A = this chain, B = another copy of it.
Amino acid sequence: MKVGILGATGYTGIELVRILSKHPNAKITYLSSKHFESQLISEVYPGLQGICDLILEGDDFKKAVATCDIIFSTLPHELTFEIAQMVMDAGKRLIDLGSAFRFDDFNVFKKWYGSNDDIEYDKFNKVYGLTELNREKIKNAQIVGNPGCYPTSVILALAPVLKNRVVSDKNIIIDSKSGVSGAGHEPKFSNLYSECNENTKPYNVAKHRHIPEIGQELSKIMQEEVKIVFTPHLVPMTRGILSTIYCNLGSDITLNEVYDLYQEFYKNDYFIKILNPGKYPSTKSVVGSNYCQIGFEIDEHTNTLIIMSVIDNLVKGASGQAVQNMNLMFGLPENKGLDIIRIFP
């Protein structure tokens, strides 16, 4: 299939190029970049020399939609809404790596993203693209709202215990640690090497835009409102997210039973790995790959279940999951072109 990537030089864009340029069924035919328009992508990223040497085009979205079977967009929501309309009209497919199509209720989106868009949100044939949970719907969707990186790490970690109502419906504490690539490719003081290196810091405490996305999906899984406390942190590494999650256990359950419950829940999911009781995940075990690893511990003193999940924020947390969704949408095996192991060390 012919693939276009809008916004190809950001970190999720360039990760799509990395994955798709080796995907046996995909052929990248359109790349755009506002910053680097009319340069070769292999000039901007010399590691691609001889591997992908396309010219970066500007914002000719019509051409992209006309010439591609599927569009990946990493652009701001205003532009994505435009593109989505063109995709709908042309009967093509769209996977949006931004936030435009992640919400059930447009008002939630408008509130948290400060949007003044006035569009008919429900007309879009869209689905929330957390592959493992929405596999069937994704197959037929025209538009996939690819999940945020934090939500992917959190929802995968919590789905089994919420679905099985093992935890009480008290507040869930989510403490996430992300590598700096999650902050994007824009030059800002806060992204500079000398600011981030040898530094760990919380940011957007109790205010991060992934909060309503997480809350929406967890509540659907548990079929009642789930309240979360969410604190994201930047740690000095390029890739990887570790989410450490604290829930009150609502019932007597052993660590082995928790393990069995997760194994059962994810038994058919290629990319989800449940760690043996007593083992905890580390981000380095998944970096470069589309895997999510999940481990847990029970603090018996306080009856608290501690769930820990790791993903590569740019792969399972963004571009890898997007390709996983593309595979589903085009009837391919879910792991096609994604069968890469983490790089270690």
Contact = CB atoms under 8 A, between A and B. Distances in A.
A341 B28 CA distance: 15
Q: How many copies altogether?
A: 4
B343 A343 contact: yes
A284 interface: yes
A179 B306 CA distance: 22
Given A48-B341, A240-B200, A343-B288, A177 B280 contact: no
B203 A46 contact: no
A233 interface: yes
- Interface residues on chain A, size class: 35 or more
Interface stretch (A60-68, A187-195, A321-329): A187-195
Interface in A4-22: 11, 14, 18, 21-22
Given A180-B197, A227-B301, A285-B47, A306 B205 contact: yes
Interface stretch (A108-116, A117-125, A144-152, A292-300): A292-300
A253 interface: no
A340 interface: yes
Nearest to A278: B205
A127 B79 CA distance: 57
Interface of A: 11, 14, 18, 21-22, 45-51, 171, 173, 175, 177, 179-181, 185, 187-189, 191-203, 205-206, 227-229, 231, 233, 235-240, 242, 244, 246, 273, 275, 279-289, 291, 293, 297-302, 304, 306, 308, 339-345
Given A47-B344, A235-B236, 13 more contacts: A49-B293, A173-B246, A173-B304, A177-B177, A185-B189, A194-B238, A198-B283, A200-B282, A206-B299, A233-B242, A235-B237, A288-B288, A340-B340
